[in-house]
Amino acid sequence: MNDEQQESMLAKVAGTVAALAAAWVAHKLINAAWKAASGHQPPTPDDEGDSGLGELMAAAAATGAVVAVSRVLATRGTKTFASRVNRNRLTPS
């Protein structure tokens, strides 16, 4: 495996790890914000019907949107960081 392929694989792994971490943090933030606003945790698939359809849809939409945006931003940030590192490695001192 040449250096370029190895760097590309490293960037993909780092991007995946960053996206997963960002999704986890975003999910925790949504849970905390939901609890602060409503006084209880957002509905989950394990709930036995305590929540109305509107609350379920709002929780799903908010969680999905925030997690998706955080994953995209984390992946783009990692990609930008990896390209800067590669550019600096290729530039002679």
**Torsions phi, psi of 77, nearest 5?**
-65, -40
CA atoms of 43 and 70, how far apart (whole Å): 21
* Mean pLDDT of the region 28-54: 86
- pTM for this one? 0.70
pLDDT at 7: 64
CA atoms of 71 and 68, how far apart (whole Å): 5
What pLDDT digit, counting tens, does each position of 64-87 carry? 999 899 988 988 888 888 788 777
**In the predicted structure, residue 3 carries a pLDDT above the cut 70:** no
